[in-house]
Structure 1
Amino acid sequence: MKKDKTNTRERRDFMKKGAAAMAGLYIVPRAVLGGDGYTAPSDKLRIAGIGAGGKGRSDIASCFESGNAEIVALCDVDDRQSKASRERFPKADYYHDFREMMDKAADSIDAVTVSTPDHNHAVQAMAAMQLGKHVYVQKPLTHDIYEARKLTEAAEKYNVVTQMGNQGSSGDGVRQMIEWYNAGLIGEAHTVYCWTNRPVWPQGIPWPEKNPAVPKELDWDLWLGTAPYKEYVDHVVPFNWRGWWDYGTGALGDMACHIMEPPFRVLGLGYPSSAECSVANRYVENWGQAYFPESGPIASHITLQFEGQANGNDVEFHWMDGGIQPSRPPELGPDEVMGDGGNGVIIEGTRGKMMCSTYGRNPRLLPTSLTDAINVPQTEPRVEGGSGGHQAQWVNACIAGRGSQEFKELSSPFSIAGPLTESVLMGNLAIRSYDYREEKSNGKGYNYPGRHKILLWDGPNMEVTNFEPANQFVKRDYRNGWSLGV
């Protein structure tokens, strides 16, 4: 692949001016080749995908299908997972280690997508931003609260275009709910319920004891990345890692950035002031009720308090997973679906209520008969393609560049996605504090000092102020050889 030595800012200016020469190659003017709608190769965003299988495969494809992107590099630690992307983009350079890719191919890359397990998001995104590359990072933005804060700060420091992969934030549904709320249809919000049927992977279980041979297509050490070293188990890759705290963020990490985002946007929420939780007992055949702190619970109920934020009012915010759901509102008919069944959102106000499904889809006023009967003016700009245009929105913003006249604000830049992710991860901090245990002074059994209390949260300083052991879950220690670089 021919390397373009033009730096990021110069190349952005170059693309805007529509110059005809790039790295010594003559480019025929677009008007000659295909009219005003034609995009010359030199105008395209050059993307590297870190994580090329699963969700990474679809993220890379969606960027490419925008028509304004070229996939120039792929990186994955598992050749089995990356196969389809490598076959679709055979000209893209292929790497196993993202650090090697950024070292060798930085000059030919404008932007990076990160679609890997949660525990490696931050180091991969930060490495790209520090080289001036725009980044698209799958939800949740990070594994830890501290990492989310640092990525949010880095996006501003390095002046790059960012987007988190919660595509519902580009949908029409959340914009419709903002318009309803601003029109006063439900009054002042005071209570929010969010729920999901996740986890749909094993949680609340002991770490597997069998250690089979590592598949030849997988670099297990690179997959572990920042996490503590453990012998390979086939239970974890490629999907069940979500249920283990070393790698994933459980049901909250999987779905809360999709489900909590609509009420966060509608109400303009920031940092919670406190958190509390209850979790389901873990049970495993032949074990009975047991303690497995490496794995998330099978179900939980988180309550976050937001003081003086929604138009100066307090909001009580409930998250429920594992199939737990709030009581059906009386305004909802007995045969009407609440949310989309397994997932949903209800926002309660002083004058009424509204509800939506996953990703903010299918917004409804309650009772639902009001939805079609009431019309409010459209004040929120829509994203072309809705949720399906989420990646294209990022691609086009990268090409325009921050600060340009062509630049359009994104749906989930890190300035929005970072604080949202911090609140999502605050729920996991509460769960892990609930499970924290200390040996009794007599050596007989354990105490659980984090249970049955409200954790008071200082958001700006990222600190629990009334239970010090909880602060170990704000920021984890990386394995030797790995660093966030800040």
Structure 2
Amino acid sequence: MLQEKTTKENQVSRRSFLRNGAAVAAGFMIVPRHVLGGKGYTAPSDRLRVAGIGVGGKGQSDLAEIAKGPADVVLLCDVDDRRAAASIKAFPKAKYYKDFREMLDKEHKNIDAVTVSTPDHNHAIQALAAMQLGKHVYVQKPLTHDIYEARVLTEAAKKYKVVTQMGNQGASGDGVRQLMEWYRAGLIGEVTEVNCWTNRPVWPQGIPWSANKGLVPKELDWDLWLGTAPYKEYVDKLVPFNWRGWWDYGTGALGDMGCHIIEPPFRILDLGYPTEVECSVGSVYVDEFKRGYFPESCPPSSSVRLKFPGKNGKPVYMNWIDGGLKPARPEELGPNEPMGDRDGTSGVIFIGTKGKMMCGTYGMYPTLLPTSRTKEVNVKQTIARVPEGHYVQWVNACIAGYGKKELSSPFEIAGPLTETVLMGNLAIRSFDYKDADGKFPGRGIKLLWDGPNMKITNFEPANQFVKREYRSGWKLGK
């Protein structure tokens, strides 16, 4: 929420984990500093005790940023010892686990908060397990793999009264705040259309599951890595990054970048649930004449169009393009001027009734069009900036307690945003749905969405993509 100046399943540990979870108090006691020491003394309760689930790669950088605030990383958890090595070195006093359930079962009394930086398909079970123990959570984007999971986490944040933040750090940046100030000042009028694009994917998509089976690295617990996903034999190079291109684990280009790119228009225009979605996808050819059909894999490129009710009865259309394609260059933008990011790889263009504005990934490079207006226009700052940054903002809010400080991407915002992003994937997967007759009835149609009830009302097969079935032994919540 923008902060304004004017308003201000290995059964033993599973069973014990579920049993203990109901008994743990939500939150932790704040002991006044003066009780424990004199001037300059930092009480233990004035520092956040953090456990990291998924501590390699992005998880490593997440913990490094969080440790810049009044926080201590006391527990580390990762299914891959290779990926965890850097964080183990960086936080030598932190105890290390492979199974997050065992960690939470044994250590829940020793932590206040949890970070989740694992592949998309396990975000929800890990985050909810922590929330049900009363732990504050920081979860990487996209918040969840499925629309249903996003709704569950959004509601859980309120139920368990925990401080939440999604890892779309641009939500704390100055760019989105500048754009909102311009929009509220009426500089571009009412926005009727938004174009969003990215050069992703930069990993394999639109291809069959590899027949090149590999040996599971001795450092990797493959069964734990799979988690909620169906069991499959290990494939080389899926870990640590290429999982993003398969639906069992990842959410494609939309899931990877949508929460960074769609966030500014979603927030600024207060979009809420979309009501309609349609799409087309790029083709994959296996030979000169035949289009490949690989429903397990995300497409190499896609185009998605979402309709939102908008304000004053005027709908807002959001167009998403990935795979390196871009929307048409606005007439107001010079032929050699960068569009979106400085290298043009990603961006957003707002089309209003009185003008246009644009930005890059994370809301960076906010620009009025024509670009000369950016320097000419002077709009009073009305929205407070976040000088401490996205991570420390969350740390400080955790220490203050639920409801005491505003955050840039709490689940009340991040949940609906994630649902919108995943709605694009629902359309893409419906497009490639093949019925018993070998036909593709989801192609060339517009899907009508009942947001409050999480249901496509005019094409029942699409609803299988709202909520997936977990592998036996895994469940969401208690």
Specify the TM-score bucket, using the shorter chain as the normaliser: over 0.9
Which residue type is aligned with residue 374 of structure 2? T
Q: Are 2:28 and 1:11 aligned?
A: yes
Alignment of 1:7-46 (within 5 A): 11-14=28-31, 17-18=32-33, 20=35, 27-29=36-38, 31=39, 35=40, 39-46=42-49
> What is residue 273 of structure 1 aligned with on the other side?
275
Cα pair 1:356 1:363 within 8 Å, conserved: yes
Cα pair 2:27 2:112 within 8 Å, conserved: no
Per-residue CA distance 1:51-78 (angstroms, 9 max, x = gap): 0000000111111112x00011000000
Partners of 2:228 and 2:122 lie apart in 1 by 6
Q: Are 2:64 and 1:61 aligned?
A: yes
Per-residue CA distance 1:381-410 (angstroms, 9 max, x = gap): 11114xxx101000000000024xxx3210
> What is residue 291 of structure 1 aligned with on the other side?
293
Partners of 1:233 and 1:273 lie apart in 2 by 39
> What is residue 465 of structure 2 aligned with on the other side?
473
> What is residue 82 of structure 1 aligned with on the other side?
84
Per-residue CA distance 1:159-207 (angstroms, 9 max, x = gap): 0000000000000000001100000000000000000000000000010
Q: Secondary structure at the match of 1:135?
A: strand
Partners of 1:63 and 1:368 lie apart in 2 by 36
Partners of 1:292 and 1:351 lie apart in 2 by 44
Partners of 2:318 and 2:363 lie apart in 1 by 17
> What is residue 52 of structure 1 aligned with on the other side?
55
* Shift in Å, 1:110: 0.3
* Shift in Å, 1:464: 0.1
Which residue type is aligned with residue 111 of structure 2? I
* Shift in Å, 1:438: 1.4
CA shift in 2, pair 1:286/1:217, >3 Å = farther
Partners of 2:63 and 2:285 lie apart in 1 by 39
Q: Give ranges in structure 1 of 5+ residues lacking alignment.
A: 1-5, 21-26, 441-445
Partners of 1:343 and 1:263 lie apart in 2 by 14
* Shift in Å, 1:284: 4.3
> What is residue 460 of structure 1 aligned with on the other side?
452
Partners of 1:401 and 1:319 lie apart in 2 by 37
TM-score computed with the length of structure 1 as normaliser: 0.91
> What is residue 447 of structure 1 aligned with on the other side?
439
Q: Secondary structure at the match of 2:409?
A: coil
> What is residue 184 of structure 1 aligned with on the other side?
186
Q: Secondary structure at the match of 2:165?
A: strand
> What is residue 373 of structure 1 aligned with on the other side?
376
Q: Secondary structure at the match of 1:384?
A: coil
> What is residue 397 of structure 1 aligned with on the other side?
397
> What is residue 363 of structure 2 aligned with on the other side?
360
Q: Secondary structure at the match of 1:73?
A: strand
Which residue type is aligned with residue 434 of structure 1? F
TM-score computed with the length of structure 2 as normaliser: 0.93
Partners of 1:423 and 1:364 lie apart in 2 by 25
* Shift in Å, 1:12: 3.3
Cα pair 1:12 1:399 within 8 Å, conserved: no
Q: Are 2:326 and 1:325 aligned?
A: yes
Cα pair 1:192 1:316 within 8 Å, conserved: yes
Q: Give ranges in structure 2 of 5+ residues lacking alignment.
A: 1-22
Partners of 1:79 and 1:287 lie apart in 2 by 45
CA shift in 2, pair 1:479/1:7, >3 Å = closer
* Shift in Å, 1:212: 1.6
* Shift in Å, 1:10: 7.1
* Shift in Å, 1:343: 0.1
Q: Which has the higher strand share?
A: 1
CA RMSD of aligned residues (A): 1.5
Alignment of 1:147-162 (within 5 A): 147-162=149-164
> What is residue 3 of structure 1 aligned with on the other side?
none
Which residue type is aligned with residue 29 of structure 2? R
Q: Which has the higher contact order (CA 8 A, sep 6+)?
A: 2
Partners of 1:461 and 1:231 lie apart in 2 by 36
Partners of 1:42 and 1:479 lie apart in 2 by 39
Q: Secondary structure at the match of 2:358?
A: strand
Percent identity, aligned pairs only, is 68
Partners of 2:421 and 2:151 lie apart in 1 by 13
Partners of 1:323 and 1:278 lie apart in 2 by 15
Which residue type is aligned with residue 359 of structure 1? Y
Q: Secondary structure at the match of 2:67?
A: helix
Cα pair 1:8 1:110 within 8 Å, conserved: no
* Shift in Å, 1:286: 8.7
Partners of 2:253 and 2:356 lie apart in 1 by 25
Partners of 2:337 and 2:124 lie apart in 1 by 41
> What is residue 223 of structure 1 aligned with on the other side?
225
Cα pair 2:27 2:135 within 8 Å, conserved: no
Q: Are 2:99 and 1:97 aligned?
A: yes
Q: Secondary structure at the match of 1:121?
A: helix
> What is residue 133 of structure 2 aligned with on the other side?
131
Cα pair 1:457 1:463 within 8 Å, conserved: yes
Which residue type is aligned with residue 425 of structure 2? N
> What is residue 24 of structure 1 aligned with on the other side?
none
Partners of 1:350 and 1:336 lie apart in 2 by 23
Which residue type is aligned with residue 418 of structure 1? G
* Shift in Å, 1:279: 0.3
Per-residue CA distance 1:417-464 (angstroms, 9 max, x = gap): 000000000000000000000132xxxxx2100000000000000000
* Shift in Å, 1:235: 2.5
Cα pair 2:75 2:94 within 8 Å, conserved: yes
Q: Secondary structure at the match of 2:28?
A: helix
Partners of 2:225 and 2:442 lie apart in 1 by 32
Q: Secondary structure at the match of 1:402?
A: coil
Cα pair 1:464 1:470 within 8 Å, conserved: yes
CA shift in 2, pair 1:183/1:232, >3 Å = same
CA shift in 2, pair 1:209/1:333, >3 Å = same
